[in-house]
């Protein structure tokens, strides 16, 4: 029997869409599905602007073949780009359930609460977004 990592299947991963319509399928998701480099997968667009990826063509026959490159790099098939209103730099939430991997655009990049920059911003504590520079300042201030 194939071992299934159920708890991992519902986790959410974040990737970023690059200029070449490329994003990374997280290693954990590839592992759960047993997806290796060079595999041909099938992608389709859902009603809510998400990209659905599976290793079998959807029954509707609407899946477009897409190739899983090294390191989980995947290029959104040209045929689907117009349907998806994604933009370069778009943050993507990737989750997987029931054999289908769902790639959904997630909330726009948060701005640093301290300086307003959107570069290198992380949620340092729930609800508080800081850029790496301000976070360093913040930590230094805590230690002082």
Using the rule CB under 5 A, which residue among 115, 119, 136, 139 binds Zn ion?
A: 115
Q: Which is nearer to Zn ion, 80 or 134 (CB)?
A: 134
Q: Residue 112, interface with Zn ion (CB under 5 A)?
A: yes
Q: Which is nearer to Zn ion, 43 or 131 (CB)?
A: 131
d(CA 23, CA 20): 9
d(CA 43, CA 52): 5
Q: Residue 29, interface with Zn ion (CB under 5 A)?
A: no
- Identify the three-state secondary structure at position 65: strand
End-to-end CA distance of the chain: 56
Binding residues for Zn ion, how many (CB under 5 A)?
A: 6
Using the rule CB under 5 A, which residue among 18, 46, 57, 114 binds Zn ion?
A: 114
Q: Residue 76, interface with Zn ion (CB under 5 A)?
A: no
Burial class (CB in 10 A: 0-12, 13-18, 19+), 90: middle
- Which residues contact Zn ion by CB under 5 A? 112, 114-115, 117, 131, 134
């Amino acid at each position: 029997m194939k071992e299934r990592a159920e708890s991992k299947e519902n986790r959410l991963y974040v990737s970023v869409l690059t200029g070449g319509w490329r994003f990374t399928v997280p290693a954990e998701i590839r592992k759960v599905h047993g997806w290796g480099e060079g595999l041909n997968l099938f992608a389709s667009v859902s009603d809510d602007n998400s990209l659905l990826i599976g290793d079998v063509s959807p029954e509707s026959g609407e899946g477009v073949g897409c190739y899983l490159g090294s390191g989980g790099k995947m290029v959104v098939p040209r045929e689907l780009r117009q349907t998806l209103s994604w933009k370069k730099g778009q943050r993507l939430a990737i989750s997987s359930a029931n054999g289908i991997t769902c790639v959904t655009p997630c909330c726009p990049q948060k701005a640093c609460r301290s300086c307003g920059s959107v570069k290198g911003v992380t949620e340092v504590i729930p609800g508080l977004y800081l850029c790496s520079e301000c976070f360093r300042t913040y930590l230094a201030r805590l230690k002082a």
